[in-house]
A = this chain, B = another copy of it.
Amino acid sequence: MVAVAPQVALRVGIVGLGRLGQRHAAALAHNTPGCRLVAACSPVEAERAYAANQLGIANVYADLDSLLADPAVDAVVLVTPTSLHADQTIAALKAGKHVFVEKPLALNVPDCERVLQVAAQYPDRVAMVGFVRRFDPSYLAAYQSVAAGEIGKPFLVRSQTCDQNDPEGFFVKFAPTSGGIFMDCSVHDIDLARWMLGRPKALRAFATGTIALHPGLADCGDVDNGIAVVEFEGSAKAVLYASRTMAHGHETSTEVIGTAGKLLVGEHAAANRVVKSDQHGVRHAVLKDFYERFEAAFAAEMAAFVAACRGITPLTLTLSDALEATRIGLAISRSLASGLPEAV
């Protein structure tokens, strides 16, 4: 099987049409140059109906194997439960497809390593994990500034993923399978820290946390606010904060501190360019969730995947990055449980 020629549109199949899957599907259908969304797969009948009726997709499957057997599909986009990511990625690669899989790649290191081993056997297939923030224009501008040496040598990253509180605590029921707050949220911050710091090897992690509003998390050893410190080879550090309980909205922010300056991305999470001055002070509205924050990044991410599959622009984001993010996230999670620093 040979690479798709640059001038030929990539034929994509979407797998999983939950909330995020529908976002990816819409981007692929309407907003991504160089591709056609030609197939979809979901075990959920309503989602298949959505694919057929809303997206106008002809080839809709109930199981992944059928989709992977479809020769008219060049690439698959996996937006499925985390526990399935590794095996589905491997199956897709073995079927000769390019693969985009949502983060995290897996909740354990051996699964990640299995994927890397298989991927190594298919060097002409693209395999990409959805670290969407790397495709956000602001994060990209910050990275380019760091890479250009504008802040000197970076030595500290402070990064947070803070969600608006859901008074219903809907996420609590997913806690047992989410891998915990650090695997679910901080994995993005971990990847950003490694990216900004030049991919140093992580040595140790320390974590602590608190349950501020959702006592139901205690049963599975999770917290709704977590703090982690990561120590890297060469002495760089990362300080991470993840929260499920923000009152004001979704605030993802990252600071990169170097010897000649610092960059701060995303703070205050303004929903738009409007400032209101009234009896409540001078204020702006806040982003509600990560979809709203990263809408442009999700589109750019799909565009990057498609461009890589078509051989136009190689990816800098690798499966190895995903493996390291999982490895660090797991050490952090172990530290939360043990109360002690854990080797990565």
A residues touching B (Cβ–Cβ < 8 Å)?
30-31, 33, 137-138, 141-142, 145, 150-153, 155-156, 158, 204, 206, 208-213, 225, 227, 229, 231, 235-237, 239, 241, 243, 245-249, 251, 257-286, 339-341
Residues in B with CB closer than 8 Å to A340 are: 340-341
| A229 x B231 contact (CB < 8 A) | no
Known interface pairs A212-B155, A339-B341; A260-B247 also in contact (CB < 8 Å): yes
| A261 x B277 contact (CB < 8 A) | yes
| B225 x A208 contact (CB < 8 A) | no
Most buried by B among A225, A264, A269: A264
| A210 x B239 contact (CB < 8 A) | no
Residues in B with CB closer than 8 Å to A206 are: 206, 208, 229, 341
Output the nearest chain B residue to A165 by Cβ-Cβ distance. Answer: B259
| B145 x A210 contact (CB < 8 A) | no
Residues in B with CB closer than 8 Å to A260 are: 247, 278-279
| A261 x B281 contact (CB < 8 A) | no
List, sorted by A's number, 22 A–B pairs whose CB atoms are closer than 8 Å: A145-B276, A210-B235, A211-B235, A229-B229, A247-B262, A247-B277, A247-B278, A247-B279, A248-B282, A249-B277, A261-B276, A261-B278, A261-B279, A262-B278, A265-B275, A280-B281, A280-B283, A281-B283, A282-B284, A283-B284, A339-B341, A341-B341
- Complexed CA–CA distance, A151 and B138 (Å): 28
| A227 x B247 contact (CB < 8 A) | no
Residues in B with CB closer than 8 Å to A209 are: 237
| B277 x A248 contact (CB < 8 A) | yes
- Complexed CA–CA distance, A262 and B260 (Å): 26
Residues in B with CB closer than 8 Å to A279 are: 247-248, 260-261
Residues in B with CB closer than 8 Å to A231 are: 208
Residues in B with CB closer than 8 Å to A280 are: 280-281, 283
- Complexed CA–CA distance, A56 and B195 (Å): 38
- Complexed CA–CA distance, A267 and B225 (Å): 22
| A277 x B285 contact (CB < 8 A) | no
A322 CB → nearest B CB, Å? 25
- Complexed CA–CA distance, A257 and B276 (Å): 10
Residues in B with CB closer than 8 Å to A263 are: 274-277
Residues in B with CB closer than 8 Å to A248 are: 261-262, 277-279, 281-282
Output the nearest chain B residue to A207 by Cβ-Cβ distance. Answer: B229
| B265 x A277 contact (CB < 8 A) | no
A257 CB → nearest B CB, Å? 8
Output the nearest chain B residue to A283 by Cβ-Cβ distance. Answer: B283
Residues in B with CB closer than 8 Å to A277 are: 246-249, 251, 261-264, 268, 286
Output the nearest chain B residue to A223 by Cβ-Cβ distance. Answer: B235
| A152 x B247 contact (CB < 8 A) | yes
Residues in B with CB closer than 8 Å to A237 are: 208-210, 225, 227
- Complexed CA–CA distance, A224 and B237 (Å): 13
A24 CB → nearest B CB, Å? 16
A70 CB → nearest B CB, Å? 26
Known interface pairs A31-B31, A265-B273, A340-B341; A282-B278 also in contact (CB < 8 Å): no
Residues in B with CB closer than 8 Å to A142 are: 274
- Complexed CA–CA distance, A263 and B283 (Å): 10
8 smallest beta-carbon distances between A and B, as pairs: A261-B278, A283-B283, A138-B273, A281-B283, A248-B277, A138-B272, A210-B235, A247-B261
